[in-house]
Amino acid sequence: MDTASPVMTLRPKQELDYYDSRSITLPVAVTPLEAWNLMRSEPQPLMHLAFKARDAISSLFGVKRIGGFSGARCDVAKVGDRLDFFLVEHVAADMLVLTERDRHLDVMICLSTHGRSVTITASVFTHNAFGRLYMLPVGPAHKLIVHNDLRRLKRKVETGMTQ
């Protein structure tokens, strides 16, 4: 029986410049939007600094500032909405697809669920040398960030179950 979460990516995997998919099993099922809200509810101070540095450096190359995560809760997301700097491109009971497209690269984050499993899949397609250079530190950092986000999500769900 296939228990993998369905995912969407910008392009077929072999055409991507970056791909990472990480999953966690929670004690109870959550929707993709609930997972997003729980992970983004308390913006991490280091992430705030990282986004400030990202914006300062990237803006020198004509890339728009994104500002980072606000921690604002979203109760209903629909196609065309914004969750912080991400554009909502697809919403379903088991999937939330967010994108950010700029002159240096396109990013797609797919939050998908299957039962108690939550999967975060990131796909990136770079447009130029700056995009490729940008992904050198961001790729490894993104893996660590998602790993920590999933651990925090599990901790929050477990804590919520005992209250």
Residue 138: what are its φ and ψ, rounded to 5°?
-70, -35
Confidence tier at 162 by pLDDT (50, 70, 90): low
Helix axes 129-162, 45-59, angle to 10 degrees: 160
Q: Which of 76, 37, 31 is nearest to 156 (CA)?
A: 37
Model pLDDT for residues 110-128, shown as the tens digit of each residue:
999 999 999 999 999 999 9
Q: Which two tokens stand for residue 137?
A: 């530190």
Model pLDDT for residues 64-112, shown as the tens digit of each residue:
899 888 888 999 999 999 999 999 999 999 999 999 999 999 999 999 9
What predicted TM-score, i.e. pTM, was given to this entire model?
0.91
